[in-house]
Amino acid sequence: MPNLVDWIKKISFAEIGKGLGLTFKHLFVKPITNQYPHQKRNLPDGYRGVIVHLRYDDMTEKCVGCALCEAACPSHCITVVSAEREDMPQKRYAKQYILDVTKCVFCGFCVQACPVDALASSKEYEMATGNKRSLIMDKEMMLALGDKYFPSRQKRPKYTEERLAFFNQVKEEGFPTAKKGAA
């Protein structure tokens, strides 16, 4: 047989009163919701967004076209076509660089594999589009995003002239040959 107190609780709807009390308590608390299009999130420094290309301070690109990023990518979303520079045949550059963002898993392996720090993870997360073909980024798009998110640039290293002069000297004079008596 139900207790008198239980019977009064059922008639007076005490549970509903408790729920309304909790609702009114939270009604007057300052909201923590960000109004998204107008308020952007503060992302941490280690956030891995869209991959971008970086430049030196003289606006030349850092990428040397080694394709280590392509080899390190687990989802095979990077394609690098490298070529030799005509003024310096010892140096290479990325003739074409294609990143398919629809396949990218944002793991950051390509950034870690780059020997010249030409790639970086941006804080870009607003990549929604109606056409998925616009998410296939080429080198120019990646350089533009790099300029946007990394405006301070590294100074270009001074290393080419003296080191490359040795190779040009060997090329002009020919390789030294071993003497017939030495084995």
What CATH code is carried by the domain that includes residue 98?
3.30.70.3270
Q: Is residue 67 part of a domain?
A: yes
Q: Specify the pairing of strand 78-84 against strand 119-121.
A: unpaired
Helices (H), the chain: 4-12, 14-27, 68-72, 109-113, 139-149, 160-173
Q: Is residue 66 part of a domain?
A: yes
Q: Is residue 97 part of a domain?
A: yes
Domain that holds residue 90: 51-125+135-151
Residue 63 among known ligand-binding residues: yes
Q: List 121's β-bridge partners, or say none.
A: 51
Q: Give residue 164's pLDDT.
A: 59
Q: Is residue 5 part of a domain?
A: no
Q: Provide mean pLDDT across the span 168-183.
A: 52
Distance, CA of 144 to CA of 79 (rounded, Å) = 18
Q: Provide mean pLDDT across the span 87-116.
A: 90
pLDDT at 153 over 70: yes
Q: Is residue 182 part of a domain?
A: no
Residue 77 among known ligand-binding residues: no
First to last CA, the chain: 111
Give the position of tokens 């005490």: 14
Q: Is residue 164 part of a domain?
A: no
**What's the pLDDT band for 183 if we cut at 50, 70, 90?**
very low
* Buried residues in 132-166 as b, exposed as e (16+ CB within 10 A): eeebebebebbbebbeebeeebeeeeeeeeeeeee
Structural domains of the chain, count: 1
Q: What is the pLDDT of residues 112-140, one digit of tens each?
A: 999 999 999 998 888 889 999 999 999 99
Q: Is residue 146 part of a domain?
A: yes
The pTM for the full model equals 0.67
Residue 114 among known ligand-binding residues: yes
Q: Is residue 87 part of a domain?
A: yes
Averaged pLDDT score across all residues of the chain: 84
Q: Give residue 67's pLDDT.
A: 92
Q: Percentage of residues in the chain with pLDDT exceeding 90? A: 43
